[in-house]
Amino acid sequence: MKTRIGFGFDVHKLVEGRELWLGGIRIEHTLGLLGHSDADVLIHALCDALLGAANMRDIGFHFPDTANEYKNIDSKILLKKTVELIREKGFSIGNADITVCAERPKLNPHIPLMQKTLSECMGIDLEDISIKATTTEKLGFTGREEGISAYAVVLLEK
């Protein structure tokens, strides 16, 4: 059996007039993330980690932000397509470990639903998805509540 590790990172700016989508769920907040799609920074980092582990470039290569077909798309669709791509190459997902950096809103109450949603999208056990939330202690763009970032690490098996 061959195992491969992938790492993903993404960041999006917080703005007024947009819904906040993280981990495939809508979270009530006064600001939302700006992007071509729904700007779900958690899912985008996860897709990059999956694609990286499979040596298949990145989310922008497969789902470019210049393509109208991806305008305002639900990132869960991108995740499902990403999982299909890596499975076509013979990989299965061992586990995913994700960290989201945001000052507000508090994300801990939403983590179980995010895990359930990602588990269903990816076709893997809930126990194989770890999601953590942290702040940057009011430092940097995240601390100033200008944006949210996410980091993801995955293990693939072939």
CB 148 within 8 A of CB 100: yes
For residue 32, give Cα distances in angstroms to 14, 22, 38, 87, 102. 5, 10, 9, 32, 12
What is the spatial distance between Cα 36 and Cα 17, in angstroms, rounded to a whole number?
14
Q: Any idea what DSSP says for residue 110?
A: G
CB 128 within 8 A of CB 93: yes
**Packing angle, helices 75-88 and 111-122, rounded to 10:** 40
Q: How far is CA 98 from the centre of its chain?
A: 8
Backbone angles phi, psi at 23, to 5 degrees: 60, 30
Q: Which residues are annotated as a binding site for a divalent metal cation?
A: 10, 12, 44
What is the spatial distance between Cα 146 and Cα 93, in angstroms, rounded to a whole number?
33
Q: Which residues are annotated as a binding site?
A: 10-12, 36-37, 44, 58-60, 134-137, 141, 144
